[in-house]
Structure 1
Amino acid sequence: MIRLLIVDDHAVVRSGLSMLLGAKPNIKVVGEASEGNEAIEKAEELEPNVILMDLSMPHGKDGLTATTEIKKMFPKIAILILTMHDDEEYLFRVIQAGASGYILKSAPHDELVSAIESVSTGQAYLYPSATKKLMTEYLEKLKQGDNNDIYEHLSDREKEVLALIVKGYSNKEIAEQLVISVKTVETHKSNLMEKLKLKTRPELVKYAVKKGLLNYEL
C-alpha cells in the first residue's frame, strides 16, 4: 500500500487528486498540505512513503525548498514533483533537490498513477520530454568533452606544467623550475591543450583556476 501525501496550494486541486488517487486500491491518501512548511510537518506526523509535491506555492515555503528539507530529514520518502512548468531549469533544480520524479499537471491520470507507483518502489520517473532534455544535455557534454575526467588522466608532469602556467610562469621559467628544456615545456603545453580540447593560453588558465590549481603543490 502506497501512503501518499498531497501538497498543493489549491484546495480544489488537492481535493480532486485525493478523490482520483484515493480510489486506487494500492494508494491510501494519508493527508494533504497547502504549502511547504505544512508538508514538512505532515511528513513527520503521517509518515508517507510518497509525497506528490506542487512546485510553485506562493504562500509559505515553495515545493523545491520543502523537497530539499524533507529529503534531508526523511531520505526514504520518495517525492514526485507535480508542476505546470515544462522548463529545463526547473527539471535540473528538482533533480538536485533530491526528488524522485517530475511530472506535468497536464499529464493523463493513468500516467500520474504510474509515476507514483514507480517512485514508490525506488525508481526515478521523468515524463518523456524531460528524459529527452536530459539525454540532450548529456550528449552535448560528451560532444564538448568532459574536462574534469580528462584531468585525472594527465601525467604528473603535465599537471605540474599546467599549475605553473596558471601561476603566471613563462615557458622559460617553467623549464628552469622543472629542470627541463623550453622545448619540452612547449611539448607538454601542446599536449595539455589537445587533451583538454582548449585552444589558447587564457582558456588554459581559466580551466586551471576552475580546477583550483592555484594551490597545487609541486
Structure 2
Amino acid sequence: MCKVAILERFTLLGAGIKSILQQYNEYEVIVQTETIDSLLKQLKGKSPDVFIVDIVHGDNAGLKPLRKIRRHFPKVPVLLLVSQNYSDCFEEYIRLGVKGFVLNDAEGKDLVEAIHVLSNGGEYFKKKVWEIFRSAIQKRKYQKKDQHILTDREVAVLRLFSRGLSYKEIGASLNISPRTVETHKRNILSKLKINTTADMVRYAYRNQILT
C-alpha cells in the first residue's frame, strides 16, 4: 500500500485528486489538506511514501512549502502539479526534492502513473516537461539582464520574497516596517512590469539574483 499526502489549496480539487486515487486499491491517502502547517501537523508520527503538491494554486511559486517538506521529510519524493508558467522555477523545484512533474492539463491516469513511478524510487519527467524546461533555460540564457533598474533595497526585498518570507519577516530582516516592504514590492512590480509575487520569484531565478 502506497501512502500519499496531498497538499492542495482548494479543498474541492484536493478531494478530486483523492477520488482518483481511491479507484486504485494500492493507494491510501493519509493526509489531504490546504496548508503546509496543517500538513506537517497531521503527519506527526506518520510518513508518506509520496507527496503530491499543487504549485498552481499556491503562493510564492510553492517554494516555501517545498522547503518545509524537504526539511521534515528529506527522503520522501515530491510530485508537483504545475503549469508551464512556472517553468523558470523547475530547476529550483528539482533541487528541493521534486522527483516528478504532472502538468495541470494532464489526465488522471498520468497522475497515477507518476505516483507509481515515484513510489518505486523512480523519477517522472515526461517529454513535454523537458521541452518546457529546455525552452525556459534557453530563454533565460538570452534574456537581457535588467536588474540594474532596481535599487539595492528593492533587490534585497525581491530576494527575500523569493525565499518565501512574509511582509513582517522581510521587514524584521531589513529593519523596516511591513508597510515599507509593501511599498518596495509595488515599486518592484511597476519597474519590472509584472503583476504578482510569483512573477517576482520567476524574475529572480531568471536573473540569478537570489544569493
TM-score, scaled to structure 1: 0.56
Alignment match, 2:114: 115
Conserved 8 A contact 1:50-1:119? yes
Deviation at 1:50? 0.6
**Paired residue type of 2:102:** I
Question: 129-138 or 44-53: which moved more?
Answer: 129-138
Conserved 8 A contact 1:35-1:63? no
Distance 1:2 1:81 in 2: 17
Larger RCO, structures 1/2 (Cα 8 Å, 6+ apart): 2
Distance 2:127 2:58 in 1: 28
How many residue pairs get aligned? The number is: 140
Distance 1:28 1:20 in 2: 11
Are 2:32 and 1:28 equivalent residues in the alignment?
Answer: no
Are 2:88 and 1:89 equivalent residues in the alignment?
Answer: yes
Conserved 8 A contact 2:61-2:86? no
Distance 2:72 2:46 in 1: 14
**Paired residue type of 1:63:** G
Deviation at 1:41? 2.5
Conserved 8 A contact 1:80-1:99? yes
**Paired residue type of 1:40:** L
TM-score, scaled to structure 2: 0.58
Deviations 1:110-163 (A, max 9, x none): 1110001111112111232222344568899xxxxxxxxxxxxxxxxxxxxxxx
In structure 1, stretches of 5+ residues that fail to align are 141-218
Query: What are the residue-to-residue correspondences of 1:50-61 with 2, within 5 Å?
Result: 50-57=50-57
**Paired residue type of 2:10:** H
Q: Which of the pair has more CA radius of gyration?
A: 1
Query: What are the residue-to-residue correspondences of 1:100-179 with 2, within 5 Å?
Result: 100-134=99-133
In structure 2, stretches of 5+ residues that fail to align are 140-211
**Paired residue type of 1:117:** H
**Paired residue type of 1:32:** Q
Root-mean-square deviation (CA, aligned residues, Å) is 2.8
